């Protein structure tokens, strides 16, 4: 897991270089079509990347984005009208039976289909109209890291060619490298959480998907019961679970989510909770019990990939501190097939 976390800047660079021209052609094609809906279909970490993609694509393109519920197709055999939709499957392996079933049904319903996968020869890649490849090499760790950020990168690239907002995603590998420099700091902080059994992860907007992803990583590698919320939703009831020293981990970039994050941190201080923030904002860091500091100039739109890196390191080192092997989580396999 640690090896693959460290590979991410190179994976991102390779993916940009190899897929940029293809994305431009796909963008030209989609901009000429009368698309009024984008549907994303995924499971696990890929679903968390899709949750990020939903925010990014809606903000940058103005097209409504839906996260598919595969059971609508696989259990209830629903027939949806998708002639003016783009349906995007997201899967590291490209072999998720339910994801591929949705893509087949969407294609039959007239949708244009795309796949985002790490496997060029996968079932998913063969059945969709176009394939966007993550150039990550084989991912051996059960806990996805480099393919998660590779999937997120493809949403940046797609948003840049379909929407009107140009995003300078070419800087993301550089910021990801800087995040890896925090390795020793994260390893030191983790020792304070070696006996953590429950926690809450908070992220809003562009980092909402990251809150789900870190929670998943803590559950699958550290066996920590981790709930995840946006800072806005957390005030609507879940705040009641917080008591003295209860751990709350926050993704807190500077930008439009800052005010709600500060409001939450103020309340957590009143409750004497333990707050750990991954942030590039001095005020957020100052209000937190502990902070992992990212570059101040990092724009909120570009923050999700660099911000998840210290979170991935946190999960890997926490597993080690608990005497667990993050590469061999109990009961799990790399490829999960469900219908």
Residue 332: the pLDDT is: 55
Mean pLDDT score, 267-277: 94
**pLDDT at position 36, please?**
93
Residue tagged 């803590």 (tokens) = 218
Number of structural domains, the chain? 2
Residue 281 falls inside a structural domain: yes
pLDDT at residue number 244 = 87
Residues 317 and 194 in one domain: yes
Last residue of a domain, one of 128, 144, 167: 167
Last residue of a domain, one of 140, 167, 194: 167
C-alpha to C-alpha distances, 218 to 123, 180, 193, nearest whole angstrom: 30, 19, 12
Residues 231 and 134 in one domain: no
| Of 83 and 166, more confident | 83
254-259, long-range: CB < 8 A, 24+ apart: 254/279, 254/280, 254/281, 254/284, 254/296, 254/300, 255/205, 255/299, 255/300, 255/303, 256/205, 256/300, 257/204, 257/205, 257/206, 257/207, 257/231, 257/300, 258/283, 258/284
In a domain, 326, yes or no: no
**H/E stretch holding 146:** helix 146-162
**Would you say residue 336 has pLDDT above 70?**
no
State the average pLDDT for the chain.
94
Question: Is the same domain home to 140 and 193?
Answer: no
* Domain region containing 76: 2-167
Domain annotation covers residue 332:
no
On whether both 137 and 261 belong to a single domain, the answer is no
Residue with tokens 């989510």: 257
Given a cut of 90, whether residue 334 has pLDDT beyond it is no
pLDDT at 61: 95
Asked whether residue 223 is assigned to any structural domain, the reply reads: yes
Is the confidence at residue 300, as pLDDT, over 60? Answer: yes
pLDDT, mean of residues 88-110: 95
Between residues 233 and 65, which one has the greater pLDDT? 65
- 100 and 194 belong to one structural domain: no
Residue range 231-251: mean pLDDT, rounded: 84
Segment 290-295 mean pLDDT: 96
Q: Name the pLDDT band for 79 (thresholds 50, 70, 90).
A: confident
Q: Are 196 and 180 in a shared domain?
A: yes
Which CATH number covers residue 130?
A: 3.40.50.10490
Query: Is residue 329 one of the residues assigned to a domain?
Result: no
What was the pLDDT predicted at 90?
Answer: 98
Residue 252: pLDDT band with limits 50, 70, 90? very high
Q: Are residues 200 and 85 part of one domain?
A: no
The residue whose two tokens read 């270089």 is 17
DSSP annotation string for 180-207:
HTTHHHHHHHHGGGTT--EEEEE--GGG
Domain shared by 154 and 186, yes or no = no
């Amino acid at each position: 897991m640690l090896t693959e976390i460290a590979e991410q800047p190179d994976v991102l660079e390779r993916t940009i270089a190899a897929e940029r021209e293809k994305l431009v052609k796909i963008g030209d094609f989609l901009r000429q079509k009368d698309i009024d809906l984008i549907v994303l279909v995924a499971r696990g970490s890929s679903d968390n990347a899709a949750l990020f993609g939903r925010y990014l694509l809606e903000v940058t393109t103005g097209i409504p984005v839906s996260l598919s519920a595969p059971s609508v197709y696989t259990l209830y055999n629903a027939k949806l009208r998708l002639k003016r939709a783009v349906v995007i499957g997201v899967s590291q392996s490209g072999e998720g039976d339910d994801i591929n079933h949705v893509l087949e049904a969407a294609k039959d319903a007239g949708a244009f289909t795309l796949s985002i996968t790490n496997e060029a020869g996968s079932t998913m890649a063969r059945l969709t109209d176009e394939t966007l490849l993550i150039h990550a090499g084989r991912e051996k760790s059960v806990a996805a890291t480099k393919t998660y950020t590779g999937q997120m990168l493809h949403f940046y690239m797609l948003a840049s060619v379909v929407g009107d907002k140009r995003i300078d995603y070419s800087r993301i590998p550089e910021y990801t490298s800087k995040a890896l420099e925090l390795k020793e700091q994260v390893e030191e902080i983790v020792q304070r959480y070696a006996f953590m059994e429950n926690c809450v992860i908070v992220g809003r907007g562009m980092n909402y998907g990251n809150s789900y992803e870190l929670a998943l990583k803590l559950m699958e590698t550290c066996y920590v019961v981790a709930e995840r919320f946006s800072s806005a939703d957390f005030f609507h009831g879940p705040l009641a679970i917080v008591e003295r020293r209860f751990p709350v981990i926050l993704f807190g970039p500077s930008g439009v989510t800052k005010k709600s994050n500060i409001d939450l941190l103020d309340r957590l201080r009143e409750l004497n909770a333990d707050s750990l923030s991954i942030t590039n904002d001095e005020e957020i860091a100052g209000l937190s019990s502990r902070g992992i500091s990212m570059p101040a100039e990092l724009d909120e739109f570009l923050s999700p990939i660099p911000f998840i890196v210290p979170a991935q390191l946190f999960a890997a080192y926490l597993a080690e501190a608990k005497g667990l092997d993050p590469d061999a989580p109990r009961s799990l396999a790399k490829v999960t097939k469900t219908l």
